[in-house]
Structure 1
Amino acid sequence: MKTILPILLLFFCGLSYSQTTITGSVVDNNNQPIPGANVIITETTIGAITDFDGTFSITSQQNPPFTLQASSIGFETTTEEITSSNQKIILILKEGNSLDEVIISASRTPERIFESPVTVERFGLKEIKNTASSDFYDGLENLKGVDINTNSLTFKSINTRGFATFANTRFMQLVDGMDNAAPALNFPLGNLLGMVETDVQSVELLPGAASALYGANAFNGILFMRSKSPFDHSGISAYYKQGITSQEAAGDNDYKDYGIRMAYKFNEKFAAKVNFSYLQGSDWVANDTRGKDRSSTFIKNNSTRQNDIDYDGVNVYGDLVSTNLSTVASNPDFLANLPNPALANLLPSVNVSRTGYYEADLTDYDAKSIKTDWGLYFRPWENDFEIQYVGKIGSGSTVYQGSNRYSIKNFFLQQHKLEIKNDNFFLRGYITADNAGDSYDLVFTGVNINRQWKSDSDWFGQYAGAFIQGTLAGLNANQAHANARTVADTGRFEPGSAQFQNAFNTVINDPDVLTGSKFRDESKIYHADANYNFSHLTDFAEIQVGGSYRQYQLNSFGSIYTDKQGEIPYSEVGVYTQLQKKFLEDERLKLTASIRYDKSELFDAFFSPRLSVGYDLGDDGNHNIRASVQTGFRNPDTQALYIGFNVGPIILLGSAPDNPQRDLRLATTTSAVNTLSPTGATILGTTSYSYDGTGAYNNSFSRSSVTDFAASRNPADLKTANPGIVKPEQVTSLELGYRGKLNKFIVDFSAYLNKYKDFITTVDVVNPFYGNVNLGDLSPDGVTPNAIVAVANQDFQAYRAYTNTTADVNSYGTAIGVSTKILGNYDLGMNYTYAKLDFDRDANPDFQTNFNTPEHKIKASFGNTNVYKNLGFNLAWRWSDNYVWEASFATGEVPAYHVMDAQVNYRVPSLKSTFKIGASNLLADEYFTAVGTGLIGSQYYISWTINNL
C-alpha cells in the first residue's frame, strides 16, 4: 500500500501537469474586441468562443507546440503558434470583405461567396446586430433582389424575382434544414416559426431556381436560417425592445418584443439550449373603402357606398352578397315583401349589394408572436459526429390576406426534428403540424353577421318593396335606392352593441361558411432527407448524393380542402447528385454539375439538371465570372391540388386528379322566364341542384365571357373554358454574373432570364347547372341551348380553377450591388434591381400571373459600427417603383414609395450590453406593398441586448 500510493499521486500529478491552458483575446485591426469569434486548436474540435469582451480560455490535454486558429465572419482567419503552457496571446483579425464570407447553401458545401456558382445573398452576425430595421427578418429587405411584402406587423412574405402573393408557394424557407411552411397553406408564414434573434448565426438567400439540390418548392428562391450551436455559443443572452407603432388610421400604439437564449455546454459530449421570444403590438389598420369590380377584383377608384348600389368595398365585408332586383319577380320569398306583387315590373334590372361592416369592426388588430424552441445535442466521440433533437413551437395572432382577409388568432405551428450528422453527411427527419386555433374569415364574418340579423331574402325583399314605394312617391332612381337601403337596414346590428357582439361570437365559432366563418385545420407534413459528401474519400472531385421524402396529411375538416370524409394523404420523393471540380494549375476554373429526380404520386417524374462554371480572372484572382443554366420545377401546392373553398361569389377548386368529384355541394335556385327562347320556354319554381366540381373542368364557360354575355345578351359572347387538370410547372433559368474587387469597391452583378413551361395559374370559369357548354352541338331547331338558359337565369356556379397556361410566360432581370469604405471606416453600400415580366396580358385576360414586382428598386446603406468609443449607427434607404398588385382578393396599383430606417447603438462592455434606439420608416411616409392591406406606418423603439455573442 505504501508503494502504490506514491505511484498514484505521481500519476495524477502527471495528469495535472499535462494540461495546457491558453488565454487571450481576439481583436480587429483597430484593436476593438471581436465577440463571438471562434478559436480552436487546429486539427481538433477543442476550442472556445470569445465573450463580449473578445476574451477566451482553452484548456487541453495536448502539450505544446500546437497551432491556434481564430476566425470570425467578415474577417480573415489567422493562426498563432503556441509554444508553452499558460501562454497568453492576442489574436488580430484583419477585416475582410463580403466576398470572403463562407456560405453552404449554393452547393450544399462550405465555399466563399466569391466562388459560389450561382447568385447568393448573405446576412451575417454583423448585419443582424446592426440592421436598421426593427428586427433582423425585416432587415433582409435591404438585400439586392429581395422584396418583402408586408401583410401585417408580424407576417411578411419574401419575394425574389417576381411571381408572388402572400401565399408565396414558389419560395422555400429552411430553418436549420427544416421547411417551416405551414402544412395547410404550403408556404412560410414569415418568421412565425422562425428564429429568435439572439440565436441567429447566419441567413443565406438564393434568389433563383434551386430545384436541382432542394426539390420542388425551391422554385423561385430559397432562404436558409442557421442557428448557433450550444457547443460553440454557450451562456445566456437576451434582448428587450420597447416602442410604439404609429399609423394615421390607428394612432400611436405600444409595441414590445423580448427574447432570451440559454445554452450550456456540459462537456465535449453534451450540450443543450432553449430559446423564447414574445412580441406584441397593434397591427396596421386596413381601411381601403374603394370598391372592387366583382368580375375581376380590380379596384374601381370612383366606387363608394354613396354612389354605387352594388358596392363591394376592399376592406368592407358583408357587401359581398348581391342580387339583381329583377329576380324578385320570380322569387316567392322576395315577393312576400312587396307592397303589391303586381308592381314587380317597376324593379330595374340592376345589382344591389347588402350593407357591409368595416374591417376594424370585425377584428381587434392585436398582433402577437410567441416562439420557443429547444435542442439537445450529443457528440458521443467528442468529434464532429453529432446527434440532435430539436423542437420548435410558434403561435401568434395576425391578419392574413389570401383570397379573402383572415383574422389569424392563436394560430399554432410546431416542428420536431431528429438529425444525425458530421462534416460529411446528414440524415434528418422532422414533422410539421399546424392548428388554426381561433382563426376566422373576415369577409364571411361580415356576411353572416348580416344574416344573423336578417336573411338575404328578407333584406332584398324589403329593399325591393321600399324601392317601389319610393318610385310611386315620385323619387328618382338614386333617391329611391337610398330610401330602400335605409328601410332595409333599419334595426341593423351596430358594432359595439350586445346584439352585434353575440352575433359576432356565434359566427366566428361556426365553421360552416353559409352561416359562420371559423377557419379549421390540423394538417401535418412528414419529411426526411439525407446527404453524403464523398470529398474526404476521393481527390478527383467533390461528389455529393442525397434525397428526400415527404408525406402530406391534409385535415381541414372540410373547411378548406375537400376532406369532409377524412384526411387527404399524398407523397413525393426525390434523389440528386452533384459533382464539383476545380481545373487548371491554380484551380481558377470551377465546374459544378447537379441533377435531381423527383416523383409525386400524383404526377409523372421530373429531372432537374444544373450546370455552372466559374472562372477567377486577374493576376491576383480578385475577379470571378460565372454562368449557369438550370431547370427547376414545382409540383402544384396543396391548395392547387385539394382546395375546395367557397369564398362567396366563387369557389376555389383544386385539380388533383381525384379532387373535383370530391367537391360535393347543393344549390337551391329560383329561375326566371327564359326571355331568349323563341318558344317561350319557362323554368319556374324552386329547384335544388346537387353537383360536384367536375363541371368546372369539363363543362364551363370562361367567367369573363359570361360577364360579356350579361351585358350584351348575345350568346355568341360565351366562350368555352374547360381548363385542363393542373400539372407541375417548369422553368429554365439562364444566369450570368460577376463578383470582384475593383480598387476599394466590392462589386456583385447578376443577370437572368427565366422561361416558364406549364405555368401554374388560376382561371375563373362558370359551370351551368344544366345544359352543355358545347353550344354548336346542342342548338337544333333554333331552340336556345339549356346552358345559355342557365347562364341567363344565373343558375350556375362560378369557380376559380387551378390549371396551366399554354401562353408564353418569361421574366428577366438584373441586379448589381456595390460596397466600399469611405472616410476611413464608414461602410457605404448601394444596389439596384431590375425585374420585368414578359407576358401578353391582353391575349390572356383570364389568367393571373401574380408577378407583383416593381420594375425598378434602389437601396442604399451607410453606417459605422464604431464611430467613437463603442458608438455606432446605420442608415438604410430604399425606393420602389410603382407596380400592379394582382391577386384573387384585390387587384390594383401600388404607388412608388421610399423608406428610411435608422438606428444608433452604444456598446457597454462592462455590462456586456448593447443599447440601441431606432426607427423603421423614420420619415413617416405611409405606404403599402399590396392592395388590400393596411398602410405601413412607423415603428420607433429602444432596445437592450445582453451578451449577444
Structure 2
Amino acid sequence: MLKKQFVMIVFTLCALSSFAQVKISGLIYDEYLEPFYSAKITQGSNFALSNVDGEFTLVIKDALPQTIRVSAFGYKTELVEVTSVDQQINVVLKENILLDQVVISASRVPERIIESPVTIERLGLGDIRKNTSNSFYDGLTNLKGIDSREGNYGFKSINTRGFSDFSNARFVQLVDGMDTAAPALNFSAGNLSGVSELDIHSVEVLPGASSALYGANAYNGIMLLNTKNPFDFTGISVLLKGGVLSQKAAGTNPFYDAQIRMAYRFSDYFAAKVNYSYFEAEEWHATDMRNREIDSANLIDGSLNSVTDYDGVNTYGDELFADLSFFGNVRPGILLRRTGYTEQQLLRDTKTKNLKFSTSLHYRPYGDESLEIQLATRLAIGDNIFQGSSRFAQRDYYIGQSKLEVKGDNFYVRGYYTRNDAGNSYDLTKTGIVMNEAGTSFQNWGRDYFNALVANISSPNALELARNFADRNRLQPGTPAFNQAFDRVTSTLITDPNGSAIYDRSAYIHADGNYNFRSLLNDWADVQVGGSYRQYNPDSKGTIFNDANEEIEVEEFGIYSQIQKKLFDERLKLTASLRYDKSENFKANYSPRFAVNYALGANKGHILRASYQTGFRNPTIQEQYFFLNTSVKTMVGSTADNLRRINFTNFNVFPGIGTIITNTTGDEILNNSVLTRSVYDNTFTGPRYLKSAYTEIQPEEVKTLELGYRSILRLNNQNNLDIDVNAYYSQHRNFVFVQDLVVPNYGTILGTGQLDADAQLAFRNAHVREFNLVTNSRSEVDSYGFSIGLHTKVFKNFELGANYNFIDYKMGEDKDFGLFDPNFNTPKHSAKLQFGNERLFNNFGFNINARWTDAYRWISPFVKGNVAARTVIDAQLNYRIPSMKSRFKMGGTNLFGKEYFVAPGAGQIGQLYYLSWIINN
C-alpha cells in the first residue's frame, strides 16, 4: 500500500512539474526565409537566443497558453501565442523601416527615431552589412549631414554641422558610454581606439548641440557606438580582408585587415567576450608642394628654385625665414627661407598600423537584464600621421581604457580610466628644422646663398644656383650621416633645441551616472537625474603642455535633470532638460534644452518637432596649457594658470656691445604684443604694429533653434517612404582660434599701438619672439542649414535612399581685423545616394553609394587653402554561403574618381579595392 502511494506521489509531482515547466522549440527566419541568428525569444523573465540555424529552445515555467515575444534590434517585434507543447513555432522577423528603429541617445530612454525630439542618424546591423566602404566607420559619411575628416588612411574622424579641423574637439564620441577622447588631445582619434567591425552593434549620431544631457564638448554633436553584448551575441566570428590602395604618389600597395571576436554565455548569470583586430596599409602620401604665403593665408603654385621664400605645405625645415638684407647689403623686404625636406624623406616608415584589443566580463546577479555588472578593458597601439598645428608622425602610440559599470532597468553608474602614451612620436616641422641645422647653421647657409646670388646675378638661373651652392653641405636623405642625425633628432625631446620627439603619458579618470524615476512615478513621466565628474592629469614633460616644472591637474563636474511627458493621447510630447557644469579654470555654465513633438494623422505617422538647444565647449587641456615650441613660433594656451608659468630667457646680441639678457613672461604675451600680420604682411589693412587686445581663453557657447518633420508614408501594401526634414539656426560666441603674435624682447607697446624707443630697437634688430596664442575671437558667428532624407524600396526589394544637406555661416561685425577666419571647413552643399538589393538572387546582393560635395575653404593652424568639389562612388558585391556560415564581399571606394584630399597638407585619397570573408557574423 505504501509503495503504491509513493508511486502516486512521484507521478503527481512529475505531472505538476511538467505542467508548470514546458520546453518549447521553434525556428526564426528573416524576411528572405534565411535562418535568423541571435533573435531573442522571451516569456516573462525567461529568454533564449536563436542559433546560427535559427533554432531556439525556451523553457516556459507557467501553465499554457502563454505569449512569447520574438525580437531583434532593427526588426519588428513579433508576439506568438503558445497553446500546446507540440505547437510548430515558425517566426519571420521583418526589418524595421528606418524611422521605426529604436534609439536611446536623444533622450537617454528608448524611443523610435520618428518620435525623437531632435535630429538623429543611426547605423544598425543591417546598414553595416550593406556598407560599401572599407569599414563601418568609413560608411558613416553616407548618413545625412555627416562629414568625415579623412586626414589619412589611419586617421579619420566624424563631425556634424561644421567648425572643426582634424582636432575635432567640438564633437564627442562614446563607446559603450566611454569617451574615446585621448587625454592629451581631448578629442577622439576616430576609430583607432574604437570598435572592431565584428563587435559593433549600432551607431547613433546626434548632430548639433547636446550639452544639456552630455555636458562639455558636445558642441557640434555626439556619437554613441554600441557594442554587442555577449549574453545576446555568442560564438566565434572572424573577418579577413585584403586589397590594394592605388595612389599616384605612392603607387599600388597591398593592405591587410584581420579581426576575431569570441563571446561565450556561460550561464544566465555570466558571459564574456574578447575582440582582436589588426590592420596594416601604406599611408596616403602627402605631397602638396604648393607654396604658402605669410600665415598660409593663400596657397600658390611656386617652384622652390624660382623664389627665395618657398615654404612648401608638405616640406619641413623651410619654415624659418629672415630678411635677405640680414646677410648682405640689399634693400630690405625680401624674405629668404631654407630648403626643406619632404614628408616622405622624414618618415622612416610610410605604413599605418593599428592593433585593437578589448575584453569584457558581464555578470547578471538575477539571471536577467534587470541588473548587470560589466568590467571592460580596451587598448590600441599603432602608427599613423596626425595633422594639427604641425604634421606629427605618431609611432608606437598607445591608448587604453578600463571601465566598471553597474546598470539596471532604470539606472546606470560607471567609472573609467583612460591613459595614452605617445611612444616614439615626433614633430615633422621641428625635425626638418633641426636636420637642416645639423648640416649647417641658418646664418652660414644664408650667407652662402647671398654670396652665390651676387656672384651669379646676371644668370637667369641665379636663384637656383644660389640655392644649390648653399645646400652643398646639407644632409642628404638615405646617407648614413642623415640617418644618424635623424635617429638622434627624433629620439631627443622637442624641448631640447636639437630634438623633435613628443613625450605624452597623460590620463584622466571619469565617473557618471543616471537614474530614471519613471517606475516610482507610476509611469506618469520620464524624470531623470544624472551627473559626471572628470579629472585630467596631463604629463608631457613640457613637450606639449607647460608641465616641465609644475604638474597640471584639472577637475570638472556636471549635474543635470530631464523630464519628458506625453499628453493628449500621446500625440504631444514635451521634453525639458537643464545641466550645470563647472571646470576649475572657468566660470560655471548652464545648458538648457526644450523640445516639443506633435503627432498628426490617424496613425500618428506625421510628427512635427521644434527644439531649443544649447551647447558649450571647455577649451581642451591643450588649448588651456599649450606650450609647444617648434623653433618658429611657440604655441601658448591662455588660461591664467598657464600664463603664470611662462618665463622665457632672451639672449639679445648687439654687435660691438655684447649680449643683453631679458625675459618674456606670460603677462607680456597677453598685454605687450602686436599682431604678426601687422608687422610682416604688406597686404594687412590695419595699422602697422597693431597691439593685441586678446584676453584669457573662455569656453565656447552655442544656442540653436531647430525645426523638423518626420513621416512614414505608405506607398502601397509592401513599401513605405520615410521622410526626415530638419532646419536649424545657431548663434556662436567665443570661438576659440589661434592668433599669431609678436612680442619684443624689451620695450613697451603703447596703448595706441605705437612702439616706444626700446621696442622700436627690438624690432629693428629682430630681438622678438613669435607666438601662436590660443584665445577667443571677439567676432560673432551664426550658422544655419537644412537637410532632407528620403528612403524607400522600389521594384519590391531594391532599397533607394537619398539625402541633401545645406549648411553655411555668416560673420557678425569684424572685431578681429580680418584675422579671424572660423574653421568652418565644410561644404555648403552635399548630396548622397544609396541603391542596392541584399537578395538580388539566391544569396547574392549588391550596394552602391555615391556622394557629392562642393568646394570649400579649409582653415587650420597648419595651413589654409581651398578644397575642390568631388564626387565619390563606392560599391560592393556580396555572396552568402549559409553552409559555411560565411559572407564574401568584394568592393571598391572612389571608383572612377580622381584623387582628392579633405584638407591641404593631408594625403591625397586614391582608390581602394578590397575582398573580405566574414565567418559567423
Same fold (TM over 0.5): yes
For residue 60 of structure 1, report the CA deviation from its aligned partner: 4.7
1:622, 1:356 → 2: CA distance? 62
> Is the contact made by 1:557 and 1:566 (CA closer than 8 Å) also made in structure 2?
no
Corresponding residue number in structure 1 for 2:718: none
For residue 86 of structure 1, report the CA deviation from its aligned partner: 5.7
> Is the contact made by 2:121 and 2:204 (CA closer than 8 Å) also made in structure 1?
yes
TM-score, reference length from structure 2: 0.95
Does the C-alpha gap of structure 1 residues 367 and 12 become closer, same or farther in structure 2, counting only changes over 3 Å?
farther
For residue 76 of structure 1, report the CA deviation from its aligned partner: 1.8
Q: Given the alignment of the two structures, is residue 116 of structure 1 paired with residue 125 of structure 2, yes or no?
A: no
For residue 277 of structure 2, give the secondary structure of its aligned residue in structure 1.
strand
Question: What is the CA deviation profile of residues 902-936 of structure 1, one whole-angstrom value per residue up to 9, with x for unaligned ones?
Answer: 00111111111111001111224211111111110
Corresponding residue number in structure 1 for 2:699: 728
Corresponding residue number in structure 2 for 1:607: 590
Q: Given the alignment of the two structures, is residue 752 of structure 1 paired with residue 697 of structure 2, yes or no?
A: no
Does the C-alpha gap of structure 1 residues 440 and 8 become closer, same or farther in structure 2, counting only changes over 3 Å?
farther
Does the C-alpha gap of structure 1 residues 776 and 612 become closer, same or farther in structure 2, counting only changes over 3 Å?
closer
> Is the contact made by 1:164 and 1:170 (CA closer than 8 Å) also made in structure 2?
yes
Code of the aligned partner of 1:769 = N
For residue 3 of structure 1, report the CA deviation from its aligned partner: 11
Question: What is the CA deviation profile of residues 695-731 of structure 1, one whole-angstrom value per residue up to 9, with x for unaligned ones?
Answer: 22111111221124x789x995221113110111111
1:478, 1:888 → 2: CA distance? 36
> Is the contact made by 1:715 and 1:788 (CA closer than 8 Å) also made in structure 2?
no
Question: What is the CA deviation profile of residues 325-380 of structure 1, one whole-angstrom value per residue up to 9, with x for unaligned ones?
Answer: 3223xxxxxxxxxxxxxxx4358652211111111111122111100100011111
Corresponding residue number in structure 2 for 1:772: 748
For residue 51 of structure 1, give the secondary structure of its aligned residue in structure 2.
coil
2:389, 2:749 → 1: CA distance? 27
> Is the contact made by 1:699 and 1:722 (CA closer than 8 Å) also made in structure 2?
no
For residue 229 of structure 1, give the secondary structure of its aligned residue in structure 2.
coil
Question: What is the CA deviation profile of residues 182-220 of structure 1, one whole-angstrom value per residue up to 9, with x for unaligned ones?
Answer: 000000000011001111110000011000000011111
- Percentage of identical aligned residues: 43
1:150, 1:596 → 2: CA distance? 33
Does the C-alpha gap of structure 1 residues 369 and 602 become closer, same or farther in structure 2, counting only changes over 3 Å?
same
Corresponding residue number in structure 1 for 2:440: 454
Q: Given the alignment of the two structures, is residue 356 of structure 1 paired with residue 340 of structure 2, yes or no?
A: yes
Q: Given the alignment of the two structures, is residue 476 of structure 1 paired with residue 463 of structure 2, yes or no?
A: no
> Is the contact made by 1:389 and 1:419 (CA closer than 8 Å) also made in structure 2?
yes
Corresponding residue number in structure 2 for 1:503: 485
Corresponding residue number in structure 2 for 1:898: 871
2:686, 2:93 → 1: CA distance? 78
> Is the contact made by 1:204 and 1:225 (CA closer than 8 Å) also made in structure 2?
yes
Q: Given the alignment of the two structures, is residue 828 of structure 1 paired with residue 783 of structure 2, yes or no?
A: no
Q: Given the alignment of the two structures, is residue 430 of structure 1 paired with residue 416 of structure 2, yes or no?
A: yes
Code of the aligned partner of 2:909 = I
2:498, 2:459 → 1: CA distance? 33
1:684, 1:900 → 2: CA distance? 68
For residue 33 of structure 1, report the CA deviation from its aligned partner: 3.3
1:359-370 aligned within 5 A: 359-363=343-347, 364-370=349-355
> Is the contact made by 2:270 and 2:362 (CA closer than 8 Å) also made in structure 1?
yes
Does the C-alpha gap of structure 1 residues 348 and 791 become closer, same or farther in structure 2, counting only changes over 3 Å?
closer
- Structure 1's consecutive aligned runs of 4 or more residues displaced over 6 angstroms after TM superposition are 1-14
Question: What is the CA deviation profile of residues 883-917 of structure 1, one whole-angstrom value per residue up to 9, with x for unaligned ones?
Answer: 00011111000000010000011111111111100
Corresponding residue number in structure 1 for 2:548: 564
Code of the aligned partner of 2:339 = T
For residue 604 of structure 1, report the CA deviation from its aligned partner: 1.2
Does the C-alpha gap of structure 1 residues 86 and 234 become closer, same or farther in structure 2, counting only changes over 3 Å?
farther
Code of the aligned partner of 1:229 = N
Does the C-alpha gap of structure 1 residues 775 and 67 become closer, same or farther in structure 2, counting only changes over 3 Å?
closer
Q: CA RMSD in A?
A: 2.3
1:156, 1:497 → 2: CA distance? 34
For residue 243 of structure 1, give the secondary structure of its aligned residue in structure 2.
strand
Corresponding residue number in structure 2 for 1:933: 906
1:31-70 aligned within 5 A: 31-41=33-43, 43-44=44-45, 46-70=46-70
Q: Given the alignment of the two structures, is residue 807 of structure 1 paired with residue 779 of structure 2, yes or no?
A: yes
Code of the aligned partner of 1:560 = I
1:623, 1:310 → 2: CA distance? 62
Q: Given the alignment of the two structures, is residue 301 of structure 1 paired with residue 321 of structure 2, yes or no?
A: no
1:389, 1:641 → 2: CA distance? 33
1:8, 1:258 → 2: CA distance? 57
2:354, 2:813 → 1: CA distance? 40
Question: What is the CA deviation profile of residues 45-100 of structure 1, one whole-angstrom value per residue up to 9, with x for unaligned ones?
Answer: x3233333333232354453322111223332111012233644111223331111
The one of 621, 627, 630 equivalent to 2:604 is 621
> Is the contact made by 2:183 and 2:538 (CA closer than 8 Å) also made in structure 1?
yes
Which has the larger displacement, 374-383 or 346-355?
A: 346-355
Code of the aligned partner of 1:935 = Q
For residue 506 of structure 1, give the secondary structure of its aligned residue in structure 2.
helix
1:902, 1:50 → 2: CA distance? 32
The one of 917, 920, 933 equivalent to 2:893 is 920
For residue 344 of structure 2, give the secondary structure of its aligned residue in structure 1.
helix
> Is the contact made by 1:848 and 1:887 (CA closer than 8 Å) also made in structure 2?
no
For residue 717 of structure 1, give the secondary structure of its aligned residue in structure 2.
coil
1:265, 1:850 → 2: CA distance? 48
Code of the aligned partner of 1:372 = F
For residue 802 of structure 1, report the CA deviation from its aligned partner: 1.9
1:380, 1:3 → 2: CA distance? 43
Corresponding residue number in structure 2 for 1:148: 148
2:326, 2:116 → 1: CA distance? 65
Does the C-alpha gap of structure 1 residues 518 and 16 become closer, same or farther in structure 2, counting only changes over 3 Å?
farther
2:88, 2:662 → 1: CA distance? 86
Code of the aligned partner of 2:273 = K
The one of 342, 355, 359 equivalent to 1:374 is 359
> Is the contact made by 1:74 and 1:95 (CA closer than 8 Å) also made in structure 2?
yes
2:72, 2:96 → 1: CA distance? 10
Code of the aligned partner of 1:159 = N
1:22, 1:203 → 2: CA distance? 34
1:752, 1:84 → 2: CA distance? 56
For residue 14 of structure 1, report the CA deviation from its aligned partner: 7.0
Corresponding residue number in structure 1 for 2:329: 345
TM-score, reference length from structure 1: 0.92
Corresponding residue number in structure 2 for 1:574: 558
The one of 508, 512, 516 equivalent to 1:525 is 508
Structure 2: which 5+ residue stretches go unaligned?
716-720
The one of 684, 689, 704 equivalent to 1:718 is 689
Matched residue count: 909
Corresponding residue number in structure 1 for 2:739: 763
Does the C-alpha gap of structure 1 residues 685 and 13 become closer, same or farther in structure 2, counting only changes over 3 Å?
farther
Structure 1: which 5+ residue stretches go unaligned?
329-343, 673-682
> Is the contact made by 2:324 and 2:330 (CA closer than 8 Å) also made in structure 1?
no
Corresponding residue number in structure 1 for 2:229: 229
> Is the contact made by 2:594 and 2:613 (CA closer than 8 Å) also made in structure 1?
yes
Q: Given the alignment of the two structures, is residue 596 of structure 1 paired with residue 613 of structure 2, yes or no?
A: no
Q: Given the alignment of the two structures, is residue 540 of structure 1 paired with residue 519 of structure 2, yes or no?
A: no
For residue 182 of structure 1, give the secondary structure of its aligned residue in structure 2.
coil
Code of the aligned partner of 2:218 = A
Does the C-alpha gap of structure 1 residues 716 and 199 become closer, same or farther in structure 2, counting only changes over 3 Å?
closer
For residue 485 of structure 1, report the CA deviation from its aligned partner: 1.9
1:141, 1:161 → 2: CA distance? 13
Question: What is the CA deviation profile of residues 393-416 of structure 1, one whole-angstrom value per residue up to 9, with x for unaligned ones?
Answer: 011111110011011111100000
Does the C-alpha gap of structure 1 residues 4 and 219 become closer, same or farther in structure 2, counting only changes over 3 Å?
farther
Code of the aligned partner of 1:495 = P
Code of the aligned partner of 2:485 = A
The one of 679, 688, 697 equivalent to 1:706 is 679
> Is the contact made by 2:678 and 2:686 (CA closer than 8 Å) also made in structure 1?
no
Does the C-alpha gap of structure 1 residues 715 and 296 become closer, same or farther in structure 2, counting only changes over 3 Å?
closer
For residue 375 of structure 2, give the secondary structure of its aligned residue in structure 1.
strand
> Is the contact made by 1:763 and 1:848 (CA closer than 8 Å) also made in structure 2?
no
> Is the contact made by 2:440 and 2:473 (CA closer than 8 Å) also made in structure 1?
no
1:162, 1:778 → 2: CA distance? 38
Corresponding residue number in structure 2 for 1:333: none
Q: Given the alignment of the two structures, is residue 315 of structure 1 paired with residue 286 of structure 2, yes or no?
A: no
Question: What is the CA deviation profile of residues 18-47 of structure 1, one whole-angstrom value per residue up to 9, with x for unaligned ones?
Answer: 643222222244434333322222x32x32
Corresponding residue number in structure 2 for 1:740: 711
